[in-house]
Amino acid sequence: MAALAASRRLLHLRPELGLCLRSRALIPYPCWTKGVGRFRYEPPRRRFFCCRRGDYGEVNAAARNKQLRRLTSDEQVTRGKDDDDAPATFADGFAQLSCEEEESDDVVGGISESMVKDVEKAAVELLAARAFTVSELRKKLRAKKFPDNAVDSVITDFKSRGLLNDGYYAESFSRSRWLSSTWGPKRIKQALRQKGVPDAEVDQATRRVFQDGHSNQTMHGISEDSLDHLFAQAAKQWQRGQSLPLENRRARVVRWLQYRGFNWAVTNAIVRKLEAQHPP
């Protein structure tokens, strides 16, 4: 009788649960029928109803709390410690289960798909501003607090698609610094190594820029065309020191060449050519 009274009280508080509660037998006592020579137990028949979407209904938090306060302490079901986080309604539990399934479906190889997309978006924004080496892009993405495995996955994908290539970057960087700032091989190699470019890629890039692919036409490690370009730039520095004594003009050009990363053989050849073609 206590169960029947509790069911009726719950129906009074939540009328929308009527269909679902009527699908279960509310008679607490079994039915006994007379069999052949003895009594046998016959469970009560159940009537099944289809609970369509919306039969449960959803109430807001304020209404649900108000109804719970109306229940006495004897009518409330004590829940254990493990059930503290259980959903309050069937709809809430279904939504929570759907979210968990959605998250588990998006996880591939320990990395969530949404995280990979965020890393890809950040990487594309960085590469749209300027070119990066593999090491530089990895440092930038890790500085944004992205997981290492997600960063490595995106970088591997970009390398396979040709969006990241240290060889092309090294050659472009070397040619730009050589033509715009007259940097020599030594200084360019130092800058590329600081950017994380492998030594093999660095050596190959500087050879392409300064030797022009013709090793038999090189002198002191650079081609004749590169040496002529360097001489033209050094001549401008030589002319700017016309008012200085010869030793000072020579020391000024030597410092200018060595600061840009040219070895002593190239520096000596340029100074001798300047003194021969532009005597004091």
Q: How do the domains of the chain map onto residue ranges?
A: 2-72, 113-164, 220-280
User: What backbone torsions phi and psi does residue 190 show, to the nearest 5 degrees?
Assistant: -65, -40
pLDDT at 67: 55
Q: What's this model's pTM, rounded to 2 decimal places? A: 0.59
Q: Please indicate whether residue 196 or residue 34 has the higher confidence score (pLDDT).
A: 196
Domain 220-280 sits in CATH at 1.10.10
The amino acid present at 8, given as its one-letter code, is R
Candidate from 73-87, 105-119, 245-259 with smallest mean pLDDT: 73-87
Q: Is the pLDDT of residue 88 over 60?
A: no
Rg (CA), the chain: 41
Q: How far apart are CA 202 and CA 167, in angstroms?
A: 8
Contacts of 132 (CB under 8 A, 6+ apart): 126, 140, 164, 169
Give the CATH architecture of domain 113-164: Orthogonal Bundle (1.10)
pLDDT tens digits, 132-164: 999 999 999 999 999 999 999 999 999 999 999
Two structure tokens written together for 228: 């002529």
What is the pLDDT at residue 177? 95
Q: What percent of the chain has pLDDT over 70?
A: 58
